[in-house]
Amino acid sequence: MTVRLDEKLEPIYQDVLRRNPGENEFHQAVHEVLETLGPVLVKYPELAEHKVIQRICEPERQIIFRVPWQDDQGEIHINRAFRVEFNSALGPYKGGMRFHPSVYLGIIKFLGFEQIFKNALTDLPIGGGKGGSDFDPKGKSDDEIMRFCQSLMTELYRHLGEYTDVPAGDIGVGQREVGYLFGQYKRITNRYESGVFTGKGLDWGGSRARKEATGYGTVFFVQEMLKARKESLEGKTCIVSGSGNVAIYAIEKAEQLGAKVIACSDSSGIIVDEKGIDLKLVKRIKEVERRRISAYAEERKGAKYVEDGNIWGVPCDVALPCATQNELNGKDAKKLVEQGCTTVAEGANMPCTPEAIRVFQDASIAYGPGKAANAGGVATSALEMQQNASRDFWTFQYTEKRLEEIMVNIHRNCYETADEFGAPGNYVVGANITGFLKVSKAMVAMGLI
């Protein structure tokens, strides 16, 4: 971490390091926010008096629990699960559940911390939280996934509620898992409480456009960044890392807006298809058959699969990291800039390392941080909660329109805040300060919470 913090903020960061040893991703997420808050404390000294930053860095509640389950052979497995209820100043805790073997407390805390500011940026009434487990869904049967989800919810249900904590999906958790989790919640509580979980199926309380929302929202954000530079997506070459929920719908919207997407990936390798990605094929392989992305090159003539390939070496105008944290480092960023990339937006959470972000900012390219650029997913979750509360079901067109308006609004607020704090075009400054001010003003208004 090379950037020095303001003298008021450095001791707060040191305290975070001391109190949360070994949680590297959490440290990184906190540092990235604190780097931008110096001028805020000058303008609003009362926030320092109220120790708002120290309070925001400490979750309101952290739950860690055992999840025992049996595989199809009857063997017993023990996983660990988490729910970090970070901040409820603006609404019930809201944020996804991640199932991935790399999950530990530091990952869930970084995600929960980011979620506070992201959710504030949506201007919708949602607080910040995140959960997950070190369970690896890869290669598991549907029955195994169901038994795991039921066991997890048998503990988690007591901490949830439509006015308390509302989970959704994230890596490794899509509609299938949400179904098993919601089903068990309903069974234990004897309540059809639709608003307790988002990302549900369209037949049982889900919102149209939620599946598409994160990826679409990221591309709407790109469109706004380009508009601010008097450009558009038309004719631009794009690369998108990952091939999961966010990546697929980022590709779809980018293609709809006239870009040509030529590469995507999974954790085993990358595919490059200079003719433009055939998204129907990607959807079949990933959403229906649940296979690896390498299958794409087996079925599509002219496409190339590179095992362990680095997607950031593929020349492009627009790069959208949509897989996971710290997937794009300083070297990758330099390569992208050297090869002519002008725009980067984070569909994933914290995919760019601090060094990569510095490279983008030094090169003055348009860089949209995840808190702003991928907020469309959680925003549409809040729209799902609205529909559930009023027992309504909106059309795709209407929901997508609302999503687009929200992304335009987030972009405008970030852009104007960056200007106001003397950092024009710096969306990191804009997003962090806009989100922070909204949450901290609410916290001060509510007394010492």
User: Interface with ligand NDP includes 129 (CB under 6 A)?
Assistant: no
Q: Please provide the DSSP assignment of 162-231 as one string.
A: TTTEEEE-BTTB-HHHHHHHHHHHHHHHT---GGG-SS--GGGTPPTTHHHHHHHHHHHHHHHHHHHTT-
Q: Say which amino acid occupies 16.
A: V
Taking the alpha carbons at both ends of the chain, their separation in whole angstroms is 31
Q: Which does 92 bind (CB under 5 to 8 A by kind): ligand 2IT, ligand NDP, none?
A: none
User: Which of 322, 316, 319, 313 is CA-nearest to residue 282?
Assistant: 322
Q: Which is nearer to ligand NDP, 106 or 242 (CB)?
A: 242
Q: What is the CA radius of gyration of the chain?
A: 21
CA distance 10 to 317: 37
Pick the piece of the chain touching ligand NDP (CB under 6 A) from 22-30, 32-40, 224-232, 237-245. 237-245
The residue from 377, 383, 385, 432 that contacts ligand 2IT (CB under 6 A) is 377
Q: Which does 94 bind (CB under 5 to 8 A by kind): ligand 2IT, ligand NDP, none?
A: ligand 2IT
Q: From residue 291 to residue 330, what is the string marking binding to ligand 2IT with x (rule CB under 6 A)? A: ----------------------------------------
Q: From residue 240 to residue 259, what is the string marking binding to ligand NDP with x (rule CB under 6 A)? A: --xxxxxx------------
Interface positions, 384-423, toward ligand NDP (CB under 6 A): none
Contacts 24+ apart (CB under 8 A), 443-447: 443/50, 443/52, 443/55, 443/56, 443/89, 444/46, 444/47, 444/50, 444/52, 446/89
Pick the piece of the chain touching ligand NDP (CB under 6 A) from 183-191, 265-273, 304-312, 409-417. 265-273
Interface positions, 340-369, toward ligand NDP (CB under 6 A): 347-349
Residue from 109, 118, 130, 438 carrying the catalytic annotation: 130
The residue from 59, 92, 95, 215 that contacts ligand 2IT (CB under 6 A) is 95
Q: Find where tokens 């997508």 sit.
A: 400
* Helix, strand or coil, per DSSP, at residue 261: strand
Q: Which does 244 bind (CB under 5 to 8 A by kind): ligand 2IT, ligand NDP, none?
A: ligand NDP
- Is 130 marked active-site? yes
User: Which of 355, 390, 352 is CA-nearest to residue 373?
Assistant: 352
User: Which of 282, 311, 283, 287 is CA-nearest to residue 298?
Assistant: 282
**Binding residues for ligand 2IT, per CB under 6 A?**
94-96, 118, 168, 170, 198, 349, 377-378, 381
**Active centre residues (catalytic):** 130
**Binding residues for ligand NDP, per CB under 6 A?**
100, 102, 169-172, 214, 242-247, 266-268, 322-324, 347-349, 374, 377
